Amino acid sequence: MVNSSNIKVKQRGPYTYRVHYLAKENITQDPEDHTVSYVKLNGAIFEPSLSVGTENDTFTVLNPAVVVAPYIFQNASIQKSFNLLLKESNSSMFQTRTLKEILWGYKDPFLTLVPYPVPTTVGVYYPYNNTVDGVYKVFNGKDNIISGYSVCVCVYGASFPPFIEKSRVLYIFSSALCRSFYVVFESDVDLKGIPVYRFILPSKTFASPTQNPDNHCFYNISNNSPFYGILDVSQCRGIPVYISRPHFLHASPDVSEPIEGLNPNEEEHGTYLDVEPVIYIYIIFNVYYRALKGLKKNYVVPIFWLNETGTIGDEKAEMFRHQVTGKIKLLSLLQISFVSIGVMMFGAFMILLCMQIKR
Angstrom distance (rounded) from CA 302 to CA 293: 9
pLDDT tens sequence for the chain (359 residues): 444 578 899 999 999 998 866 677 888 888 888 888 888 888 899 999 999 999 999 999 989 898 888 888 888 888 888 888 999 999 998 999 999 999 999 999 999 999 888 889 999 889 888 888 778 777 776 666 555 444 433 334 446 667 788 998 888 877 767 778 888 999 998 888 888 899 988 888 888 888 888 888 887 654 455 678 888 888 887 788 888 888 998 888 988 998 999 999 888 888 888 887 765 444 555 455 556 555 556 788 888 888 887 777 778 777 777 776 656 665 666 677 777 788 888 887 788 778 778 76
* Three-state DSSP state, 42: coil
Give the dihedral of Cα atoms 262, 221, 78, 69; nearest 10 deg. Answer: -40
Bridge partners, 288 (sequence order)? 306
Look at strands 136-139 and 151-153 and give their pairing.
Answer: antiparallel
Compute the distance between CA of residue 245 and CA of residue 28 in angstroms, rounded to an integer: 36
DSSP state at residue 258: T
* Angle (deg, nearest 10), helices 64-72 and 76-89: 160
Alpha helices (H) in 46-197, listed in sequence order? 64-72, 76-89, 99-104, 109-113
The reported pTM is 0.76
Query: Please, are residues 32 and 2 in contact by the beta-carbon 8 Å criterion?
Result: no
Query: Between the CA of residue 89 and those of 45, 84, 107, 342, 359, what are the distances in Å?
Result: 32, 9, 12, 85, 110
SS3 83: helix
